[in-house]
Structure 1
């Protein structure tokens, strides 16, 4: 009888730890390419963007926001609405791009910088109510669009770092536990308020976060290769153990541009096995140059060292 109880206990523990491991961050994939799309409403479609079959490609629909859809939008405490170009980036178009490219996944990004001329704030009434509303509303959107993950891109806050950490952490945890999403990422940049919120989230829930889409393009325009490498090492230390992705902005308004050494920096990081992937803001701005640097980024990632 005692042996039987011991076996049951061991099996229960094994199942518990198996469950925990199933909602941890995904294993590293150094051939990951990600692109934000849909925020600027200039008729870019998934199929416009070149996809290299030798990389893992993730589109990030921008944005789902917990604001209402009125002419003067206000916060809805976790009840998310779609604010991307849904005419050109619809559920059927998600299905089409994924069916034609087995290496493509599609996720949605939450928050963003602004909406109709005003900042988007993370502004929960309470942690419990915000999480409950967010889980329900996002689950509906994710299932309707057959999406694979979420990205957290809040940039302005009316809450303290711990409230943000617990709210977003519990959201990711619940969506993963429910099997609604396969991966989650965060998109911080080098600003004291922003970093205080995301580092609090990382400290408590970093094991659930698959990628850090660090906005290296938020650094000064004219950043050099050596400065970029220093920034990367600093942020890799801040988000210790995380897969920090490098990035550029298509309009070359900030950071290290593809024209001025971005790929030199990528090759250096790749040779040191530190290149976890590349992401771009954004498909709309890249359309004008024929997605030249998307092609170059994916070609670099596809090469095996």
Structure 2
């Protein structure tokens, strides 16, 4: 057997072993959105979890938050500590880690960001593809997360077409392996349109349940049921905002148990964000991973 053939078999074996080892559990963690000097190494990562760091944010606007004439050129605005070398190092230490870039977010430089219909959708897609390709290769990224949070009042938005075609192109060119979307209660409509048209290239729905402002586990379960009627139940991840809105404290884990008892497979979760968790020793990251690994689903 040649050394090359032996090495190829080793890589395949390791990949299959890792897939079985992680047992289908996924953890999404936003990081770097506030500008605080957070480090990947600060966040506890369980080796049995398929752990996705979502870098917030890359934005198709200039540094003042003004749209760049609809040209789709993305630039990174996450914390300066989250360098390409830092991404490569944490992925080297943790083979179960992936890194994603989140598109847009809520604001930049105090200015609310909005999806704007580009004059030419295909030019926007081409420019977005080129700029994100450069970002993906530079930062050793595995995917993108779509987090536009404000849309034009008219219903003729090109959002679904532009984003759907962009994800499809990135996947077809093997530049990314993961694509997620992050709707909340006020943006469900454009995301449902995107999801229904491009469901085959969207892997997870990081629905922002904390924006639903539910305070009890029972209300959280009801919100979860409602959202899984709009998006596939197997792709919707329960979510939590540290020191933020919605359900707080250990009531979140009681809500997860209710969701599981109601017949849902709780095989993943999303937390916003690592920046806020530094103040409490990453309690929710640790406990969420423990829950995912101890629950009865597989």
TM-score category of the 2 structures, normalised to the smaller one: 0.7 to 0.9
CA offsets 1:236-285 (integer angstroms, 9 cap, x no match): 0011355100011111x3111133x1101212333434213111111111
Distance 2:256 2:215 in 1: 14
Distance 1:302 1:276 in 2: 9
SS class of match (2:270):
strand
Distance 1:134 1:29 in 2: 34
2:258 aligned to which of 257, 268, 273:
268
Matching of residues 197-216 of structure 1 within 5 Å? 197-216=190-209
SS class of match (1:92):
helix
Corresponding residue number in structure 2 for 1:120: 113
Corresponding residue number in structure 2 for 1:36: 30
Distance 1:273 1:29, change over 3 A: farther
2:248 aligned to which of 249, 257, 264:
257
CA RMSD for the aligned pairs? 1.9
Corresponding residue number in structure 2 for 1:66: 60
Normalised by the size of structure 1, how large is the TM-score?
A: 0.85
Is 1:240 paired with 2:235? no
Deviates more, 1:116-125 or 1:170-179: 116-125
Is 1:185 paired with 2:180? yes
5+ residue gaps, structure 1: 1-27
Matching of residues 54-93 of structure 1 within 5 Å? 54-69=48-63, 71=64, 73-76=66-69, 77-85=71-79, 87-93=80-86
Distance 1:72 1:247 in 2: 27
Normalised by the size of structure 2, how large is the TM-score?
A: 0.87
Distance 1:62 1:289, change over 3 A: same
Corresponding residue number in structure 1 for 2:151: 157
Q: List structure 1 runs of 4+ shifted beyond 6 angstroms.
A: none
Shift, 1:208, TM fit: 1.1
